[in-house]
Amino acid sequence: MCGIVAAVAERNIVPVLIEGLRKLEYRGYDSAGVALLNPTLTRLRSVGRVAELASLAEAQVAHHGIAHTRWATHGVPSERNAHPHVSEGLAVVHNGIIENYAELKAELTAAGYVFTSDTDTEVVAHLIQHTQKTNNDLFDAVFATTQRLIGAYAIAVIQEWDDRIVVARQGAPLLLGVGEEGRYAASDASALLQVTRQMIYLEEGDVAELKRGSVRIVDRNHVAVERALHESSLSADAVELGEYAHYMQKEIFEQPQALAATLEMIGGAQSFSPNLFGTDAPELLAGAKSVLILACGTSFHAGLVARYWIEQLAGIPCSVEIASEYRYRVSVPHPDTLVVAISQSGETADTLASVKHAKAQGMMRTLALCNVPESAIVRECALRFLTRAGPEIGVASTKAFTTQLAALFLLAATLAKQQGHLSASDEAEHLTALRHLPVAVQNVLALEDDIRAWAQRFSDKHHALFLGRGHHFPIALEGALKLKEISYIHAEAYAAGELKHGPLALVDEDMPVVSIAPNDALLEKLKSNLKEVAARGGELYVFADADSHVDEEPGVHVLRLPEHYGLLSPVLHVVPLQLLSYHVALVKGTDVDKPRNLAKSVTVE
């Protein structure tokens, strides 16, 4: 989604803005722009990569400016729709969606403002300008404007002859950076590490004024507030590509260490403790009679795996809902439900709204399972578990998914223990399996060369089917999602038993069928499903375990994972599917880290 960088400093801030935008490229965008004050306004915009904007801005020097990468919502990707948007000498960048923009636009048009773009953001620029006619001060005008906006926004505003940047946020991320030489704002910390590690996270409804040496913040009620200064622990290296060709590849290979970091707290533990989930967790988890998981996309798939674990281990009913559906559907709330929001970014608009919806219905036992500390979803929930995957830059989620699975298994085992469903020997066995997980994933990564060879055979295909059963069915869903989002091959996943109820009609020699065939209780059932495919000429690509009795034969290709991993097997079996989609995308030459039309952190509905 859109990225914002803003800076006011002693130094020339043009390179800071451009470098900041580069760091936000991973969020997905189609155009970019900057507005600089000298002290009059210069605006530069371009469609395409930040590199193009960088060459346009090369000769510029300024101490005060705002910058933006745009992911189109209102209006096509074009220079005229790229941010910043201006109204006389005032410029605005914006992330989010202004839902009442049409009504505001009509009002401003009637007042004589002329619109030069199709965006909702231009409304904000003119509205601040218009508000200044009665409310002269820029800060006051921005505050008054925010009171009229419905929707989600993070904005940064500058104006000719004014030495400030005014920012505001509601429902979209924005943090401030406090540096030696100036003050900064950005959509996420990675953009500001180049100048500072000292960050201030704004709360919902905050409006702030940045000058070279100071920050002033008011809350939604216009009361002056101090927000805590945090030292970012993000390492600058963590957002560098290093020896890898793509972030997705780097992140796939980082999974062993991401899992080790996420599971570090159980390193020497003899038992699963609710304290892993926060100080109030012993009480809140113990009273939970059911679990409701809310998430989107890949995080939703992690939730689907967790349902198998929670019901099997803890014996508690668990439902998993797509956040964008749950937030609008009439459902039956149960106050004793533990609501678990899963999100890599912690900023996904639908997931955040779904938690608020659950709380509004009286479900106050909320747990955030996120990869970003201080994110909106973390702050919304009573309990938290932070996965320690490190920054995930590739749009296609990989290490965030496997670390979510590890965290969800911890949750399932903890609930099981609290319910008295976990024997001492099972507890010891699960702890051992979790501790060995990073090594087990490392061993699976060794399959890369074989998978690269398979990928060649997928590159000219237009469709693919993914099959799995039991807790590997969600892994089939995840494999299909990975393939479609980065290689643009249409892929569908089915619970293998469903095949004969419809999708089998699609199977012919042009339809590769990827199957997840671990050596579990459902293997024999799955093998019957695979025979149904083979009998129709379908080409089968089977990911089996070393000890699975699935044999290579014409039309049946088999790769074996090193060992069967019991309940945690989904964490291993997703890895070859990530590698497969990565290598198919490489053969097809797609933009692996920034697939078309997609954004990393989906902060709009």
Residue 87 or 351: which CB sits closer to ligand F6R?
351
How many Cβ atoms are within 10 Å of 92's Cβ, its own excluded?
30
Question: Smallest distance, Å, CB 409 to ligand F6R?
Answer: 18
Outline where 263-322 has alpha helix (H): 281-286, 297-309
Residue 190 tokens read as: 């990675």
Instruction: Render 327-375 in DSSP notation, one character per residue.
Output: TTS-----TTEEEEEEESSS--HHHHHHHHHHHHTT--EEEEEESSTT-
Residue 87 or 603: which CB sits closer to ligand F6R?
603
Residue 23 tokens read as: 């760091």
From the list 2, 296, 318, 381, the catalytic residue is 2
Residue 206 or 392: which CB sits closer to ligand F6R?
392
Question: Smallest distance, Å, CB 63 to ligand F6R?
Answer: 35
Question: Smallest distance, Å, CB 351 to ligand F6R?
Answer: 5
Residue 115 or 244: which CB sits closer to ligand F6R?
244
Strand order of the β-sheet with 165-170 is 85-87, 90-98, 151-159, 165-170, 207-211, 214-218, 224-225
According to DSSP, the residues that pair with 294 across neighbouring strands are 321, 341
Q: By three-state DSSP, how is residue 88 classified?
A: coil
Question: Smallest distance, Å, CB 480 to ligand F6R?
Answer: 11
Question: Smallest distance, Å, CB 321 to ligand F6R?
Answer: 14
From CA 168, how far away is CA 219, in angstroms rounded?
A: 10
Q: Is 115 left (phi over 0), alpha (psi -120 to 50) or beta?
A: beta
Question: Smallest distance, Å, CB 573 to ligand F6R?
Answer: 17
Residue nearest to ligand F6R (CB): 297
**Where do we find the tokens 């260490």?**
257
Strand order of the β-sheet with 175-178 is 41-47, 31-37, 64-70, 3-9, 182-186, 175-178, 198-201, 229-231
Amino acid at 469: R
Q: Is 370 a catalytic residue?
A: no
Residues that bind ligand F6R (CB under 6 A): 296-299, 343-345, 348, 351, 396-397, 481, 485, 601-602
Amino acid at 180: E
Residue 146 or 397: which CB sits closer to ligand F6R?
397
Q: Which residues does 68 contact at the CB level (< 8 Å), separation at least 6?
A: 2, 3, 4, 5, 21, 32, 33, 34, 82, 83, 84, 93, 94, 95
Across the chain, how many H-helices and E-strands are there? 18, 25
Element (H, E) at 521: none
Instruction: Render 484-516 in DSSP notation, one character per residue.
Output: HHHH--EEEEEEGGGGGGTGGGG-STT-EEEEE
Question: Smallest distance, Å, CB 371 to ligand F6R?
Answer: 8
Write the secondary structure of 177-227 as one string of H (helix), E (strand) and C (coil): EECCCEEEEECCHHHCCCCCCEEEECCCCCEEEEECCEEEEECCCCCEECC
Outline where 361-493 has alpha helix (H): 376-380, 399-418, 424-445, 448-458, 473-487
Say if CB 182 and CB 9 are below 8 A apart. yes
Q: Is 500 a catalytic residue?
A: no
Question: Smallest distance, Å, CB 448 to ligand F6R?
Answer: 19
Question: Smallest distance, Å, CB 591 to ligand F6R?
Answer: 14
**Which positions are catalytic?**
2, 600
